[in-house]
Copies of this chain bind each other. A is one copy, B any other.
Amino acid sequence: MTEDKKLSKALSRRDFLKTAGGAAAVAGLATSGLALTPWTAEAACNVMPKKWDETYDVVVVGSGFAGLAAAYEAKKLGASVVILEKMRTPGGNSIINGGVVSAAGSPKEQEQGIKDSPDLLFKDMLAAGLNLNHPELARMVADQSNETVQWTINELGVKYKDKLTQEGGHSVPRMYSTYNQSGSAIVQQQLLKLKELGVVPKTQSLLTQIYRDSDGRVKGVQIREKYVFPKSDSGKIKNIKARKAVVMATGGFGNDVAFRTIQDPRLTAEFPSTNQPGATAESHREALRIGCTPLQLSWIQLGPWGSPDEKGLGLSPFFAQLCAAMYGLWVDTKTGKRFVNELADRKIRADAIIRVGNKCIALTDAAGYAFGQKAIAESMPLLLERGVVKKYETIEDMAAGYNCPVEPLKETIDKFNAGVLAGKDSEWGRYLQKDQKPLGPGPWYALRLTPKIHHCMGGVNINTKAQALDIMTDKPIAGLYAAGEFTGGVHGAVRLGSCATLDCIIFGRIAGKNAVAEKAWS
């Protein structure tokens, strides 16, 4: 059967309607047009359901930082609110994130004598973002960074460590770290506060449609209740009316191979992700279908320090970065050679691993192992125990372990060692640590590298009010807000670490407040 025939067959399956629970009745559907553009067109439209099963003022889709922040603000303003989450547990990627949040101009910075300002954070964000950031959105994140972190402390009761930290791309140490080094410390407080207000996310509720009426307004959503991820036919169709607005906060699509390879064909199923399994694109597709505007979808951030031998973010970054990138080497096992400055930025390193064919290892000697272990003593034995890091007595053993040609590998190590003695990495220009010594002899430690998909910089286009903007007019879609990783523009080409949580909470809160301010349509 040709593709065409398959399609025709699918299209003729009108009885599918019944199982989908869509409303077949058409009542008073009228066309509409916005006279705001140099051409004329109707809004993308749905057939509205005959009957709404439930009604709320504000319907929030997604239960990460952004969705919970939106729901909290809306509820506090007296709106009736529902939070829809497709997975069994709330929190999305937020609950497994690293728990670092930047605050420019914070009290802690002042205590510690660090000179910082929102201007400086803004500048850092644009430099990392290659100036592809929508400046008005990035500006808001920088300007509101400190008050947002303070809000998480004062309003939510989030606890942070005393010490401010710093990551690549930041001009100064400005990062608050949650006490447990995880976003869960924030999400749990959000959930607690919402529970006090009587709002508990409805889990296992998959978004299947956004209802945009022929007048251009979003009026509700269709879901599958008691959905079991990823079974597409599980659960029961329900129609949820949003009297004021729908807030889309369903995160990124890092785990959706079909969708991500349209935007970046390199990112096949071969590449794992640090995301939770539900980071798929069905809500992105649906939002684009009803007229949202796509923005920079092809900028997908990879962490270069992942390992295929453990799931998610894992512990591999500790070894790959602290032991190998800072002290040892990253080597392409196909050639036995180095292929990048091991301390280049995330994008350069991830692109390099992919370019040479994604068969690379991070390696170091006993001194490098000890070098990393100073910083993260607890993680190193776990990595060995789990077999993510392997120990080899000789270079020959290590080469054999990865099917790597041994002579080129030896030459690579010799060349690097000669550079160490000469005080300069002339091959790749890497900064050499003060206590760097020539590598060897054994034992050696090594880890298989693979870039892991980490964050989608792109998403739907919003304005500073968190209103989703229409593809035809660039004007707000009435009744539709969006926030967090689901949107694009804040981070440009490359997201600066510790700015995602800010993005989510700031625009989530704005979306929640503005959703309540909408005039109810029924």
In the A-B complex, the 9 residue pairs with the smallest Cβ-Cβ separation, listed nearest first, are A38-B232, A20-B40, A44-B44, A294-B294, A39-B282, A296-B298, A40-B208, A39-B208, A16-B35
For the residues of A in contact with B, the DSSP-based class is: loop
Stretch of A63-71, A257-265, A393-401 contacting B (4+ beta carbons < 8 Å): A257-265
**Cβ contacts A1-45/B at 8 Å (1 or 0 each):** 001101110110110110111111010011111111111111111
Whether A467 sits at the interface, judged by CB under 8 Å, is: yes
Task: Pull 20 A–B residue pairs with CB atoms less than 8 Å apart, ordered by A.
Answer: A7-B216, A7-B478, A10-B34, A10-B475, A11-B216, A16-B32, A16-B35, A17-B30, A22-B40, A24-B30, A37-B282, A38-B232, A38-B280, A39-B206, A132-B298, A288-B294, A289-B291, A297-B297, A298-B299, A298-B458
* A355 / chain B contacts, CB cutoff of 8 Å: 131
Contact B39 A471 (CB under 8 A): no
CA distance A122 to B92 in the complex (A): 40
Most buried by B among A3, A264, A289, A476: A289
Contact A34 B11 (CB under 8 A): yes
Instruction: Say whether, besides A44-B289, A266-B131, A32 and B17 are in contact (CB < 8 Å).
Output: yes
Contact A33 B22 (CB under 8 A): yes
* A13 / chain B contacts, CB cutoff of 8 Å: 33, 35
CA distance A208 to B295 in the complex (A): 23
Whether A114 sits at the interface, judged by CB under 8 Å, is: no
Instruction: Say whether, besides A31-B47, A39-B286, A46-B42, A296 and B471 are in contact (CB < 8 Å).
Output: no
CA distance A52 to B463 in the complex (A): 39
**Cβ contacts A189-209/B at 8 Å (1 or 0 each):** 000000000000000001111
Contact B265 A131 (CB under 8 A): yes
Contact A295 B35 (CB under 8 A): no
Whether A276 sits at the interface, judged by CB under 8 Å, is: no
CA distance A85 to B125 in the complex (A): 43
Q: Which residue of B lies closest to A518 (CB)?
A: B4
* A437 / chain B contacts, CB cutoff of 8 Å: none
Whether A354 sits at the interface, judged by CB under 8 Å, is: yes
Distance of A14 from chain B, by nearest CB (Å): 7
**Cβ contacts A346-364/B at 8 Å (1 or 0 each):** 0000010011000000000
Distance of A247 from chain B, by nearest CB (Å): 15
* A135 / chain B contacts, CB cutoff of 8 Å: 265
Whether A301 sits at the interface, judged by CB under 8 Å, is: no
Instruction: Say whether, besides A296-B263, A472-B285, A31 and B40 are in contact (CB < 8 Å).
Output: no
Whether A425 sits at the interface, judged by CB under 8 Å, is: no
* A32 / chain B contacts, CB cutoff of 8 Å: 11, 14, 16-17
Contact B293 A262 (CB under 8 A): yes
Instruction: Say whether, besides A20-B40, A266-B131, A471-B289, A35 and B10 are in contact (CB < 8 Å).
Output: yes
Most buried by B among A33, A463, A465, A519: A33
Of residues 111 through 135 on chain A, the ones whose CB sits less than 8 Å from some CB of chain B are 130-135
* A23 / chain B contacts, CB cutoff of 8 Å: 31
The copy count of this chain in the complex is: 2
Contact A17 B3 (CB under 8 A): no
Whether A169 sits at the interface, judged by CB under 8 Å, is: no
Contact A4 B132 (CB under 8 A): no
Residue in B38, B286, B471 whose CB lies within 8 Å of A230: B38
CA distance A16 to B37 in the complex (A): 12
Distance of A97 from chain B, by nearest CB (Å): 25
CA distance A20 to B41 in the complex (A): 8
Contact A288 B22 (CB under 8 A): no
**Cβ contacts A457-475/B at 8 Å (1 or 0 each):** 0100101010100011011
CA distance A13 to B473 in the complex (A): 15
Whether A147 sits at the interface, judged by CB under 8 Å, is: no
**Cβ contacts A291-319/B at 8 Å (1 or 0 each):** 10111111100000000000000000000
Q: Which residue of B lies closest to A28 (CB)?
A: B26
Whether A217 sits at the interface, judged by CB under 8 Å, is: yes
Of residues 181 through 239 on chain A, the ones whose CB sits less than 8 Å from some CB of chain B are 206-209, 215-217, 222, 224, 230, 232, 237
CA distance A26 to B222 in the complex (A): 24
CA distance A299 to B458 in the complex (A): 13
* A206 / chain B contacts, CB cutoff of 8 Å: 39
Contact A208 B41 (CB under 8 A): yes
Whether A290 sits at the interface, judged by CB under 8 Å, is: yes
Contact B354 A7 (CB under 8 A): no
Contact A29 B29 (CB under 8 A): yes
Most buried by B among A44, A135, A291: A44
